[in-house]
Structure 1
Amino acid sequence: MTSATEEALAGLFPPGTAVAALVIADNRAPPHPAEAAAVASAIPRRQAEFAAGRAAARAALSALGHAPAAIPAGPQRQPLWPPGISGSIAHGAGVAVAAVRRGSPLGIDIEPDAALEPDLWPLICSPAETAALPVAHRGAYVRQVFSAKEAVFKAQYPVTGAMLGFDAVTVRLTEAGFVARFARNTGSFAAGHEVLGRLLRRQGLILTGVAL
C-alpha cells in the first residue's frame, strides 16, 4: 500500500520533491528526543501518529539526500524543518505521509475517501461552496474540499504565520485538483489570490498537495 501511496503522492508535487508514506501501526521508530516533548502528555494514538509522521518525514529527507534530523514542533505545533528545507506532514486513515523539498513551502493532506456528515458541511464550506458541489455524494465532495483547505493552510503558514479558519479560502474542485482563492488579505496573499493544488483518490484515500 505505501509504495502505491508514495507513487501517487509524487504526482502531486513538482520535480525535486521527495515523499514518503508509512502505515502508522507499522512504525517502530520512536520520536527523536528533541521531538518527544511535543506529545509527552498526548494520548497513545496521537503519540503514534506523531512518531509515524516524523518517521515518514525523515524517510522523505533521506530520499532528498539530506541527513536524518530532528523535526521538533513549533509554538503552533508546526514542524520545524532543517535550514533550507520546506516540508509538510499529515496523517489520516491509518497512514502518515510527508513531502519535502529545497525551496518554497509545501502543503500535504491525507483523508479517508468517505463522506462527511451534513452537520459538518457548514463548518467547512460556505453556502456558495456547498451549492457548487454535485448533489449526489455531496458529503464526499465536502471531504475533498476539507482536504484541499488543510493542504493550503499548511503551505501558507511558513509565509504568513497565520492560523486560518475554513472561511479564509474558498475552494473550487477541478478535474485535476482544485483552485483555492483567499477570501481576504492574509500576509503577502491578497484577497482573490489563487493557489492551485492537486488532488487524487487512491485506495480509499484522498491525497492532496500544494506547492507554492
Structure 2
Amino acid sequence: MTADCGTLHFEEAARVTVVPYADGLIALCTTAIAAPEGPEARARERRQAEHAAGQYALITSLAALGVHAGPPDRRPDGSPRPPPGTLVSISHRFPYAVAAAWKAHGRPPQHCRILGVGVDIEQEGTIPENAVHLVCSPVERPGLCATPGWADPTRVFSGKEAAYKADPQWRSQRFAPRRLRLRPLGPRLALAHSAAGPADATSVVASRQVGGYWISLCITLTAARPSRLYR
C-alpha cells in the first residue's frame, strides 16, 4: 500500500509497537520511504518524501493510541506540536522514518509526570570509531566503553539526539553532544544527563539495532520514586 504526496510516493509498510510506560502507553512506528535514490534524485524530492513518511509514521503512532488526527502543526523550533494529552517525536534517515507518541491512561499519571518524548534513527557507521571524541566527553567515555554495546559512537549519538528532543530544557539550547552525557544502565538502557530543569527530572534512553540502523527512544519524566519505572 502506498500513499501519494503530490508527485511523490512512499511505502506505508508501517510497523507499530505499543507498550505500557509510565502510567500511559507509548507507540513507536517505523515506515519505509520509497523515494528516488542515486545521483539523479533531487534533494528537494528526497526531503519531501522523508517529511511525508515522518508525518505518516506519527499519524499511525497516534492512531495506535486511539488518537485520530491529521498532520500536526509545528512549534517555532520545527518540532511537531502534539495533540492535547499526548507527547510526540519524529526522526528520519533515508530510507526509514520513525515516530513515537505517548498518551496517558484515562486518568492523570499517578507515579510520575512525563515532560517529553524523543526518537532518533541513525545509520550504522555514521560516526566513525576514530571520531568518538566528537560525541563523548572524557568524563563519560570510560563508562560507555566499559558497557557492552555502548562503545559504538553512532549509537551514543543517536541516544543523545533522542534525549535532546525529549528534554524541553535541552531543546531550548543548541545541540552539543559532548555536553549531554549518557550513563549506561546496562546493554539496552541509559540515563541521560538532564539540563537545568526540575531537580527530579530523569531521562531514560533505550536503543536497538534494526537492519543496519540504530533507533533510540527517550522519555523525560519526573518521579518521586523513579526506580519503579525501570523494573
Fold equivalence (TM over 0.5): yes
Q: Is it true that 1:169 corresponds to 2:180 in the alignment? A: yes
Give a deviation string over 1:89-124, Cα, whole Å, max 9, x none.
111241111111224221111111225225643331
Taking structure 2 as the reference length, the TM-score comes to: 0.68
**Residue 20 of structure 1: how far off its partner (Å):** 1.5
Task: Give me the whole-angstrom Cα distance separating, in 1, the residues matched to 2:205 and 2:87.
Answer: 17
The 5 A counterparts of 1:24-103 are 24-25=33-34, 43-103=44-104
Task: Give me the whole-angstrom Cα distance separating, in 1, the residues matched to 2:129 and 2:150.
Answer: 7
Task: Give me the whole-angstrom Cα distance separating, in 2, the residues matched to 1:152 and 1:100.
Answer: 15
RMSD between aligned alpha carbons? 3.1
**Residue 17 of structure 1: how far off its partner (Å):** 1.2
SS for the counterpart of 2:29 is strand
**Residue 127 of structure 1: how far off its partner (Å):** 2.6
Task: Give me the whole-angstrom Cα distance separating, in 2, the residues matched to 1:97 and 1:12.
Answer: 19
Distance 1:162 1:188, change over 3 A: farther
Q: Which runs of 5+ in 2 are unaligned?
A: 1-12, 36-42, 105-113, 221-231
Alignment equivalent of 1:188, drawn from 193, 198, 201 = 198
**Residue 84 of structure 1: how far off its partner (Å):** 1.5
Give a deviation string over 1:46-84, Cα, whole Å, max 9, x none.
222111101110111111111222312221111111121
Task: Give me the whole-angstrom Cα distance separating, in 2, the residues matched to 1:122 and 1:194.
Answer: 25
The question of whether the paired residues in 1 share the 8 Å contact of 2:20 and 2:26 is answered with no
More strand by share: 2
User: Which structure: larger Rg?
Assistant: 2
Identity of aligned residues (%): 28
The question of whether the paired residues in 1 share the 8 Å contact of 2:50 and 2:94 is answered with no
Q: Which amino acid in 2 is paired with 1:24?
A: I
Alignment equivalent of 2:211, drawn from 203, 206, 211 = 203
Task: Give me the whole-angstrom Cα distance separating, in 1, the residues matched to 2:122 and 2:20.
Answer: 15
Q: Which runs of 5+ in 1 are unaligned?
A: 27-41
Taking structure 1 as the reference length, the TM-score comes to: 0.73
Distance 1:53 1:71, change over 3 A: same
Task: Give me the whole-angstrom Cα distance separating, in 1, the residues matched to 2:150 and 2:83.
Answer: 38
Task: Give me the whole-angstrom Cα distance separating, in 1, the residues matched to 2:79 and 2:183.
Answer: 26
